[in-house]
Amino acid sequence: MQHSITAHTHPMFRFWHWVLIGFLLFALMVAHMVVPANGTAQSVAAPSIPAFPGAEGFGAESQGGRGGEILFVDNLNDSGPGSLRAALEAGQPRTIIFRVGGTITLKNAIIVTNPYVTVAGQTAPGDGIALRIDGTADTQPLIIETHDVIIRHLRVRSGPGVPDSVNGDAITITGGYNIIIDHSSLSWGTDEVINTWYSPYNVTIQNSIVSEGLYDSVHKKGIHSMGGLFGDKSDRVTLYKNLFAHNSQRNPMLKSDGSGTFQVVNNVFYHWHYFGAQIGDGEATTRVNFIGNYYKPGPETRTNRYEVLVGTGAEVYVEGNIGPRRTENTQDEWSLVGDIYNFEQPAATKYRVTSPFDAPEIDVQPALEAYDDILEDVGATKPKRDAVDLRVIQDVINGTGKMIDYPDEVGGWPELASGTPYVDNDGDGMADDWETQYGFNPDDSSDTNQDADGDGYTNIEEFLNETNPGQGGSGTPKQGLAYEFFTNATLSGTPDYTGVDATIDFDWGSEVPAPGLSKDTFSVRWTGQVEPQYSERYTFCTRSDDGIRLWVNGQRLINNWTDHVVTENCGTVELAANQRYDLKVEYYEHHGRAVVQLFWLSASQRKEIIPKSQLYSDQS
């Protein structure tokens, strides 16, 4: 499947478009002003931005605890002051910072009923933070019953409860909305490992591991081991770049009792036993975009059954999925889809749709390319992966592992070191050295909810997201790279369009990138600075059709100024962390497909499009 990249629309091309939008936003704001009896106007909330850079899918615009209080978890107690339970059950908007690492053992579920909360698991020192149950009740660790929740870098490893349990999920989302779970590791559920129920909507599960649903443990029905159930009027749910491993069934199960839309893109499903995906089998409509997923069988996988099973109510768009029955993209897209009522028979085409359903734009990789990226990045990776995730990922790579009944079969819960938290003298949640680096006062807590660079993210969010807050907000350049577009292939004359691009990540295909440009004859120059995060040798790579040149710190690293099909070129240079280096890219398109992308990688930096957070234009 072709790598799908959303083309950038340049501001100057759409001047009147933005004028109209500005007018409509102003009108909307006026229409929504509420004037109480005392005559004080209440303002409308600011326009939505992603929950954090890299948030994708239906849940991407969750506000979380933005602008709220900073609450600290400084012990591993089940309840009481300083506990995670106390922070999650608090009533105000809040961002939860961890000052301790380790495993929190719960006697009963933490139920989140108050909205606007961010759980910043990446702040935990030592080996990170995990949740489990103590096994003395029919319960589970975490239930979300509210809206605007962000959870990142959290491990939830439930474990078995009392015999004949039925409530053993690691995480349950019931009736909430605007929820995103990112880079988390979920395992050892006795019912499902994760599920959504009771009409939740606008939910994203991304970059997370869902593994080892317990097979023949304490569930009332006996053999279970279910990965993920997304049902009972669940709607607008995204599963993106997750790893499901060692789950017998529901990999995933999508079944709306209302009329739900699901987006399942670039996930890896390893070692299912009885069933891979199960879609539909109800009276209501279950609409699914199932794109770029990879089904890799394991030792106990029943490969005589289709990877994806569909039934009554299912309407499924499939593209670019790979598995035992569809090993390459030249084969029929429908060839890995079977009948949910007769597992070894192909599904009727009445369940198939030929165009994807409306869903948020999302970057789609070829399934095998996504497989490598997912294994490198998935799960609770901060501050480090634990022994469970390391073992599961090795199983995926090696084609090993088994269904388990109890955690002790694979070593049980790992001991997570408590560690030493970062220094934060003013108690604003931001590390003192980070505040000093970016021009804030580490003895003044009032700056935590300010927005130094005016991008919509508060300073504490910039710290948590590892993005540049703009040096205290004083005259900083715009993030991204300045561009100049020319209506010729030689970068000559006066540019026809100028502005700032967030990144260099474009696939215009055979379309024109802007009015007035020919689809086969144009050129672009990007200039600005790049700021690496590590002191080491960096490799910069371009992917282009046609000509491309790249300079970093005045040194030309790439020079392929020829007509060619999509080609990757790379060059290396030594760089120092947190220093800005001049960067220039020149590109021309002569004929055929128009593609240009800019990546980097190093020993500590995985290969990625150079993000906006590390690029600076000369425009302020």
**pLDDT tens digits for range 519-561:** 778 899 999 999 999 999 999 999 998 899 999 998 999 999 9
Instruction: Tell me the mean pLDDT in the region 99-109.
Output: 98
Asked if pLDDT for residue 122 goes beyond 90, the answer is yes
Instruction: Tell me the mean pLDDT in the region 128-147.
Output: 96
pLDDT at position 32, please? Answer: 34
For domain 481-616, the CATH superfamily is Toxin - Anthrax Protective Antigen;domain 1 (3.90.182.10)
Cα–Cα nearest to 486, from 500, 497, 501, 477? 497
- Separation of alpha carbons 388 and 410, rounded Å: 8
For domain 69-410, the CATH superfamily is Single-stranded right-handed beta-helix, Pectin lyase-like (2.160.20.10)
345, amino acid identity = Q
Asked if pLDDT for residue 613 goes beyond 50, the answer is yes
**Mean per-residue pLDDT over the chain, rounded:** 89
Cα–Cα nearest to 131, from 410, 416, 419, 421? 416
pLDDT at position 472, please? Answer: 52
Asked if pLDDT for residue 68 goes beyond 60, the answer is yes
pLDDT at position 549, please? Answer: 96
Q: What is the 3 state secondary structure string of 431-478?
A: CHHHHHHCCCCCCCHHHCCCCCCCCCCCHHHHHHHCCCCCHHHCCCCC
Q: What angle do CA 194, 199, 202 make, to 5 degrees?
A: 75
Q: pTM surpassing 0.75?
A: no
Asked if pLDDT for residue 35 goes beyond 80, the answer is no
Share of the chain above pLDDT 90, in %: 76
Q: How confident is the model at residue 57 (pLDDT cuts 50, 70, 90)?
A: very high
Alpha carbon distance, N-terminus to C-terminus of the chain: 39
The contacts of residue 177 (CB under 8 Å, 6+ apart) are 147, 200, 201, 202, 203
Cα–Cα nearest to 316, from 341, 347, 360? 347
pLDDT at position 21, please? Answer: 38
Asked if pLDDT for residue 30 goes beyond 60, the answer is no
Q: State the alpha helices, DSSP H only, in 232-357.
A: none
Bridge partners for 98 per DSSP: 73
Return the number of other C-beta atoms located less than 10 Å from residue 327's C-beta: 11
- Separation of alpha carbons 371 and 179, rounded Å: 25
User: Alpha carbon of 409 to those of 185, 332, 385: distances in Å?
Assistant: 19, 40, 20
Q: How confident is the model at residue 24 (pLDDT cuts 50, 70, 90)?
A: very low
Asked if pLDDT for residue 132 goes beyond 50, the answer is yes
Cα–Cα nearest to 120, from 468, 462, 472, 375? 462
pLDDT at position 509, please? Answer: 76
250 is catalytic: yes
Asked if pLDDT for residue 38 goes beyond 70, the answer is no
Asked if pLDDT for residue 20 goes beyond 70, the answer is no
Cα–Cα nearest to 501, from 7, 10, 1? 10
Question: Domain residue spans in the chain?
Answer: 69-410, 432-473, 481-616
Tokens in use for 538? 């960096």
For the chain, count helices (H), then strands (E).
Answer: 6, 40
User: Alpha carbon of 511 to those of 220, 502, 506, 519: distances in Å?
Assistant: 58, 20, 11, 6
The contacts of residue 138 (CB under 8 Å, 6+ apart) are 161, 162, 164, 165, 166, 167, 168
Q: Could you give the count of Cα atoms lying within 13 Å of 247 in the half-sphere of its Cβ?
A: 33
* Matching residue, tokens 């022994």: 387
Phi-psi region of 608 (alpha: psi -120 to 50; beta: other; left: phi over 0): beta
Q: Write the DSSP symbol of residue 356.
A: P
Asked if pLDDT for residue 368 goes beyond 90, the answer is yes
* Matching residue, tokens 């099973």: 309
pLDDT digits (tens, 9 = 90+) for 377-389: 999 999 999 999 9
Bridge partners for 249 per DSSP: 226
More confident residue, 2 or 295: 295
pLDDT at position 3, please? Answer: 34
- Separation of alpha carbons 503 and 600, rounded Å: 12
**Cis amide prior to 532 (ω within 30 degrees):** no
Instruction: Tell me the mean pLDDT in the region 368-375.
Output: 96
pLDDT at position 590, please? Answer: 83
Tokens in use for 482? 């300045």
Q: How confident is the model at residue 8 (pLDDT cuts 50, 70, 90)?
A: very low
Q: State the alpha helices, DSSP H only, in 33-133.
A: 84-89
Q: Write the DSSP symbol of residue 158.
A: -
Burial 174-197 (b: 16+ CB within 10 A, else e): bbbbbbbbbbbbbbbbbbbbbbbb
Q: State the alpha helices, DSSP H only, in 210-364.
A: none
Stretch (H or E) spanning 598:
strand 594-601
- Separation of alpha carbons 620 and 618, rounded Å: 7
Tokens in use for 360? 């948020």
pLDDT at position 183, please? Answer: 98
* Matching residue, tokens 């502005």: 499
pLDDT at position 591, please? Answer: 79
Return the number of other C-beta atoms located less than 10 Å from residue 92's C-beta: 11
pLDDT at position 516, please? Answer: 67
Task: Please state which of the ranges 98-107, 325-334, 506-515, 588-597 shows the lowest mean pLDDT.
Answer: 506-515
pLDDT digits (tens, 9 = 90+) for 340-367: 999 999 999 999 999 999 999 999 999 9
- Separation of alpha carbons 552 and 467, rounded Å: 21
pLDDT digits (tens, 9 = 90+) for 259-292: 899 999 999 999 999 999 999 988 899 999 999 9
Dmax of the chain from CA atoms?
A: 78
Collapsing DSSP states into helix, strand and coil, what is residue 395?
helix
pLDDT winner (highest mean) among 38-52, 177-191, 498-512? 177-191
Cα–Cα nearest to 537, from 571, 508, 569, 563? 571
- Separation of alpha carbons 363 and 220, rounded Å: 41
Asked if pLDDT for residue 608 goes beyond 50, the answer is yes
Stretch (H or E) spanning 392:
helix 387-398
Asked if pLDDT for residue 41 goes beyond 70, the answer is no
pLDDT at position 600, please? Answer: 96
More confident residue, 42 or 449: 449
The contacts of residue 203 (CB under 8 Å, 6+ apart) are 58, 59, 173, 176, 177, 179, 180, 196, 234, 236, 237, 238
pLDDT digits (tens, 9 = 90+) for 465-524: 998 887 554 334 568 898 898 889 899 888 888 888 889 998 887 676 776 677 778 899
Query: In terms of residues, how long is the chain?
Result: 620
More confident residue, 81 or 4: 81
Q: Where are the beta strands (DSSP E) in 246-330?
A: 253-255, 259-265, 268-270, 277-279, 285-291, 294-296, 308-310, 314-319
Bridge partners for 543 per DSSP: 568, 597
Instruction: Tell me the mean pLDDT in the region 136-157.
Output: 97
Catalytic option among 85, 155, 157, 250 = 250
Q: What are the φ/ψ torsions at residue 517 (nearest 5 degrees)?
A: -100, 145
The contacts of residue 155 (CB under 8 Å, 6+ apart) are 121, 128, 129, 130, 131, 184, 185, 186, 380, 386, 388
Q: Write the DSSP symbol of residue 250.
A: -
Return the number of other C-beta atoms located less than 10 Å from residue 19's C-beta: 10
